[in-house]
Amino acid sequence: MSTILVTGANRGIGLEFVRQLKAKGHRVIGTARRPSDAPELGKLADKVIGLDVTELASIEALPGPLGGEGIDWLINNAGISSQTKSIATMDAADLRRVLEVNAVGPIMVTKALLPLLRKGAGKKVVNISSQLGSIANNTGGSTYGYRASKSALNQLTVCLSNELKPEGFVCVAMHPGWVRTDMGGPNATLSPEQSVSSLVKVIEGLGAGDSGRFLNYDGQALPW
Ligand code: NAP
């Protein structure tokens, strides 16, 4: 049994992570911006903690309710999309917001939880990125802010991996596929169940040599 913390766990891919990891017998801590509005998460998770990944005070308060227990896996899942589709409609506030949620948030959450991750035996940090963060694959433009935020998250993942590898950590960026959630929409190719069962299988199998990689949900390497 591992202790696993999932951010943005009240709906979508995050909630499905909680469901599947609980079914496997793990101890699962889910975070939500408003725990009182997350009844399904409340029923499934061992513990629910309020967390807004853009609020430093909220991030710094996160370890408190954990009472010093070790965390084996951290799944930085919380994320938003962005509205900015062209240079003509570029909006600084929208760009800042998506960078704040998708890149600054996950690295600050990791920083706050590092003492507890060091106590854990699993030592896995999984940043849920997107193939849209791949610069090599960007032939379509559009979605400026979202792409930039996930590219930034990928870079932060590699920095983290390089720094923490000597301590036995495995830090990866993973694309969950195109998934039928509020973000992915109804036409997406994968159900949350399909995406998460594949992601979990890959995460379980991660070894030291995988740290710093950018992986698809099926375990294939993605180009940076
Ligand atoms: P979703 O259904 O829209 O869920 C997003 C989750 O993130 C919600 O729990 C949301 O909480 C939380 N969140 C948003 N802003 C937050 C903040 N400031 N602080 C804390 N939590 C916040 O999206 P999803 O499809 O499950 O996406 C999960 C992850 O997968 C994201 O990182 C996304 O970029 C990535 N991804 C998804 C797809 C896809 O096709 N679905 C593809 C590639 C990558 P609230 O309910 O409070 O808003």
201 is catalytic: no
Q: For residue 164, what pLDDT is reported?
A: 98
CA distance 93 to 156: 22
d(CA 147, CA 218): 21
The parts of the chain modelled with pLDDT lower than 50 are: none
Tokens representing residue 101 in the block: 């949620």
Residue 197: per-residue pLDDT = 98
The rounded Å distance from CA 150 to ligand 1 centre is 12
The catalytic residue among 144, 161, 198, 217 is 144
Residue 85 confidence (pLDDT): 87
The owner of tokens 């506030």 is: 93
Measured from the CA of 76, which atom of ligand 1 is nearest?
A: 32
Q: What is the pTM of this model?
A: 0.98
Active site residue 151: no
Which pLDDT score is estimated for 94?
95
What pLDDT is stored for residue 139 in this prediction? 93
Q: If you measure from the C-alpha of residue 145 to the centroid of ligand 1, how many angstroms do you get, rounded to a whole number?
A: 15
Pairwise CA distance, residues 137 & 224, whole Å: 8
Asked if residue 52 has its Cβ within 6 Å of ligand 1, the reply is yes
Residues 6+ apart with CB under 8 A from 30: 5, 6, 9, 10, 14, 15, 18, 38, 41, 44, 45, 47, 48, 49
